[in-house]
Structure 1
Amino acid sequence: MASKNIFAIVGVVLFIVILPIYAQAKVFIVGDSSGWTIGFDYKTWAKDKEFHVGDKLIFMYPVGAHNVHKVDADGFQNCTAPAGTEALKTGSDVITLATPGKKWYLCGVGKHCEIGGQKLAITVLSNDQVAAPAPTPVPSSSMKETVANHEN
């Protein structure tokens, strides 16, 4: 039974990974090889990624161990899911990023969000937007003097 589930998950992931190549969308496995788990720094994971409308997030985790809730900024800050909402809990949850703007996700199992840091915040750009480049560092005055001395 477990091997059937693994094959099903692998099949779904392969389908999701291959299909977007033709549609120009990107697929992000949240947490990369670590997946959706406690004790992982999702802020650092998302920092250098650019998310666009049409991209997909895949939350991979052992069924029953975690879940995924889409929340607002307050829910994210307080690690609380909206009352009456159903969590995603398949172990290979796929979320298509349909609109631009801030998006927040968390695990609602136990204290996984509060204590384990199992939450993700991203900014989704429209397809005609690109992320702003990092500013170029300005040399300090002592650095300018050093550079000037090397030029002489």
Structure 2
Amino acid sequence: MHAVFKYNPSMHNVVQVGEGDYNSCRVSGPSRTYTSGNDHIQLSRGGKAFFICSLPGHCQQGMKIDVTA
């Protein structure tokens, strides 16, 4: 199973973060950042994944999602 994110890469990104960083809208540790605008991300079956846009203010305005695979 995979997640697909389509967006304008000059205005947004997708960062896979842990649950704590998802809840606080920050990137504090090693995280994978996607910037293609058409990202296909493999998800682990039976787990949760957390994604945010790390551009200033975007996550705080709701640009975040958690996915259960």
Give the TM bin, normalised by the shorter chain: 0.7 to 0.9
Q: How many residues align?
A: 69
Listed as ranges, the gaps of 5+ residues in structure 1 are 1-54, 125-152
Residue of 103, 107, 111 corresponding to 2:49: 103
1:98: Cα distance to partner?
2.8
The structure number with the bigger radius of gyration is 1
Q: Percent identity?
A: 28
**Larger RCO (CA under 8 A, 6+ residues apart):** 2
**CA distances 1:16-71 after superposition (whole Å, capped 9, x unpaired):** xxxxxxxxxxxxxxxxxxxxxxxxxxxxxxxxxxxxxxx22111011221001111
Listed as ranges, the gaps of 5+ residues in structure 2 are none
Query: In 1, distance between residues paired with 2:39 and 2:32?
Result: 13
Asked if 1 retains the 8 angstrom alpha-carbon contact of 2:17 and 2:32, the reply is: no
Between structures 1 and 2, the one with greater strand share: 2
For normalisation by structure 1, the TM-score amounts to 0.42
For normalisation by structure 2, the TM-score amounts to 0.86
Q: CA RMSD in A?
A: 1.5
Structure 1 consecutive aligned stretches of length 4 or more whose deviation exceeds 4 Å: none
Give matches, 1:67-106, under 5 Å: 67-106=13-52
